[in-house]
Amino acid sequence: MPFQDFRQFLDVLRQHGELIDINRPVALNDVGKAMKQAYIRNGPAIMFNNNGTDYPLVAGLYSTREKALLAFEADEDTIFDKVLHGLDNPIAPIFAANGAPCQEEIIEGEAIDIRNFPVPQYSPKDGGPYITAGIVVSHDPETGVPDVGHYRFLILGKDTFSFSAQPFHRFGKNLAKCKKLGIVPKAALIIGVDPIIAYTCQVQVPDTTDDWALAGGLRGAPVELTQCKTCDVKVPATSEVVIEFEVDLNTTVLEGPLGEYTGYYTRPSQKPVARITAITHRKQPIFQGLLTGKPVTETISSSKFRSKRRSCVRSSASFRPSSRSRCARPPACRSTW
């Protein structure tokens, strides 16, 4: 029985001693340091309950192979067959009627303020607070095929952020197509989902693949989707937080630097501005963080997932981040967490 939502996975991590709560105050900008210490020790995920915002922040969910096996409800003997069977047997998503949990609270218009959510600055020289554990849901504007992928977002203001989508990743390709067709790109950033959806993001598949069907296969049950409020995108009904946005391809800002998984900062560069059109969330949502920086961090732990049994995943690119972004390497830029 796959996890129905993020919270069920957190419960299982807690039961296995793989998630601890910190109730004393921890400033958002100290979260990166705490996570680094947890990663070094192969330690548990951490829930920062007292982070200066109204919402808890949990980070480190994908940091070890043990947690990945819990996510897949598998062990070393069963993971090989489970992943291959899932990849071979996609299951189409289903659609939820009205009243999806992710829309228990709806924030629109002037009330939108992304800064109310716990978004840390992870490394000292980052360009600002970054949403690092968000998953973008976008559509190919020509074929309508949905894609899900991890993309980082730099908070600029109450309802604006910027991001970096490599042109060879599907969200980047969808943006390029929109630009050619003269369409304003609309998408959603989802935070706090069934972990199999997060692992599905890393599977490299043809652009014609419906990622929801892929996630369904790996879960062994369909993903239940619901319609966004301000864009024609469907998102998992039980997501903790959904940030709906549109991209202004004509306005750019300096995005970066960001301490990356290589251990170096990527240089700031001009990137599009995205405007948040709605934020919807569950009651008492749990926000998710993810430290990216000097290895070992979560960004590379999905490659750890396949390290013990290299043959367990059909494609060598599966279950690992594939970004080929170039990184700046001046000595002054080495101090990521």
Ligand X SMILES: Cc1cc2nc3c(=O)[nH]c(=O)nc-3n(C[C@H](O)[C@H](O)[C@H](O)COP(=O)(O)O)c2cc1C
Name the residue with the smallest CB distance to ligand X. 149
Residue 162 contacts ligand X per CB under 6 A: no
Q: Degrees (nearest 5) of the Cα angle 115, 266, 235?
A: 45
Residue 67 contacts ligand X per CB under 6 A: no
| Euclidean distance between CA atoms 74 and 138, whole angstroms | 30
The residues in 112-151 that bind ligand X, with binding defined as CB under 6 A, are 132, 147, 149-151
**Which helix (DSSP H) or strand (DSSP E) does residue 6 occupy?**
helix 6-15
Give the β-pairing of 153-155 and 160-163.
antiparallel
- The contact mask relative to ligand X for 169-208 (x = CB under 6 A, - = no) is xxx-----------------------------xx-x----
Among 165, 231, 241, 242, binds ligand X (CB under 6 A): 165
| Euclidean distance between CA atoms 122 and 126, whole angstroms | 7
**Which helix (DSSP H) or strand (DSSP E) does residue 86 occupy?**
helix 79-88
Q: Name which of 64 and 132 has its Cβ closer to ligand X.
A: 132
Q: Alpha carbon 132 to chain centroid distance? A: 6
The span of 7-15, 98-106, 166-174, 306-314 binding ligand X (CB under 6 A) equals: 166-174
289 with 133: CB under 8 angstroms?
yes
Q: Name which of 201 and 228 has its Cβ closer to ligand X.
A: 201
Residue 299 contacts ligand X per CB under 6 A: yes
Residue 323 contacts ligand X per CB under 6 A: yes
DSSP 230: S
| Euclidean distance between CA atoms 80 and 269, whole angstroms | 41
Residue 303 contacts ligand X per CB under 6 A: no
- The binding site for ligand X (CB under 6 A) comprises 132, 147, 149-152, 164-166, 169-171, 201-202, 204, 290, 299, 321-323
